[in-house]
Amino acid sequence: MKKIFFFTSFLVLTASCTKNPDIAEKVPLDITPSISITETKALVNTDNIQSMQIGVHISNAAGDALYDNQTGNNNILLSHAGTWGLASSVYLSSSLAKIFAYYPYSSTASDLTGTGATVARLLNIPATQVMANQVDYLWAAQDKTDPAGSTKINNENNIVTLKLNHSLAQVAFVVWKENFSGAGVISEIEIKDNTGAGSNLKINKTGTNDLKMALADGAISGGEASPTLSVTGINSTISLTADPDPTNTPATLNSNINAHILVVPTSITDKTNIQFTFTIDSKNYPVTLSGATPLSFIKGSQYIYKVKLSGTALTITGVTVAEWARNYGGSVIIQ
């Protein structure tokens, strides 16, 4: 009986030394971004998403602590080099995970604050933006392997298609000319809120900037009011000599956009307080919106203003709203 007992004990000890159940159950997290943007001129799209760097923050399912309490899960670079991959591997156990993500990625520690449900990314929205340098800030919060699915993320379900969304609103302009003899080169567009001290336009806070985007829902807080927002360096020549689309179809107008500016979502009680000024051939053409009704620039929405330049006068003949596509696809999706 003693020999049998010792032999059995030896087998148990050998098995415990060769297999650690905690390690064996863990599998690497696989995130693959994709994006679907239709009928819009977004800054991030299906053609360029693979050149973008995305930041990933992984918490527990409750969103109140980092996954496995590992500090390395706070801010991980996700990029594409043949395939999408995280700069440092994340191994999932049976514990459920929640993924928060943002674009563009930043390695600066102070640019990301909070944990899980409270994590936020610092924004840089100056009063004057250069056309080619505007930043399309994106966010994501997902505890499922697919944005429209029901499967929760853990070691048994480690391949994730993440959906990213726009946190800003895009105000775009389609300009056409009639009986205008100039070259028609647009160099700058300004949005002015004549509300006064209570301007609804938001930019970076002077001194210590606190303008930030919550990754849980894309909401933007902080910053300070500014009477104006402008985009420079446009260098777009007005080529249209007729209304491109009298029916104001977003798809048609979008393909003819001359310039756009990204704005922090806001609501204006009286839109007659909003004035657009177009600098064309070095001359300023101001125009004020008509109709004392409310105006909202909502996150993830594109607002296309159709502008007619007639002789030396400038009038706005219509406005249309087009939703940005809100998808990144694969194990990370952007919309």
Look up the CATH number of the domain holding residue 136. Answer: 2.60.40.2620
Spatial separation of the C-alpha atoms in residues 53 and 106, rounded to whole Å: 9
Question: What is the pTM assigned to this prediction?
Answer: 0.84
- Quickly tell me which residue has 């100039």 as its tokens: 182
Q: Are residues 178 and 290 in the same domain?
A: yes
How far is the C-alpha of 73 from the C-alpha of 75, rounded, in Å? 6
Containing structural domain, residue 106: 25-168+325-334
- Tell me if 146 is assigned to some domain: yes
* pLDDT at res. 131: 95
Same domain, residue pair 175 and 110: no
Which CATH number do you get for residue 195? 2.60.40.2630
Domain count, the chain: 2
Pair 152, 192 in one domain: no
Alpha-carbon distance values, 186 to 126, 156, 261, 309 (Å): 21, 55, 14, 11
Q: Is 5 domain-assigned? A: no
Do both 135 and 94 map to the same domain? Answer: yes
Does 114 share its domain with 174?
no
For residues 143 and 197, state if they share a domain: no
Question: Which residues lie closer than 8 Å to 95 by C-beta, 6 or more apart?
Answer: 60, 61, 67, 68, 154
- Residue-by-residue pLDDT tens, the chain, 335 positions: 444 333 233 223 233 343 344 444 788 888 766 554 444 556 776 667 677 888 999 999 999 999 999 999 999 998 888 777 888 888 889 999 999 999 999 999 999 999 999 999 999 999 999 999 999 998 989 898 888 889 999 988 888 888 888 899 988 888 888 888 889 999 999 999 998 777 899 999 999 999 999 999 999 999 999 999 999 999 999 999 988 888 887 778 888 999 999 999 999 999 889 889 999 999 998 888 888 888 888 898 888 888 888 875 443 333 333 344 322 111 111 11
237 and 194 housed in the same domain: yes
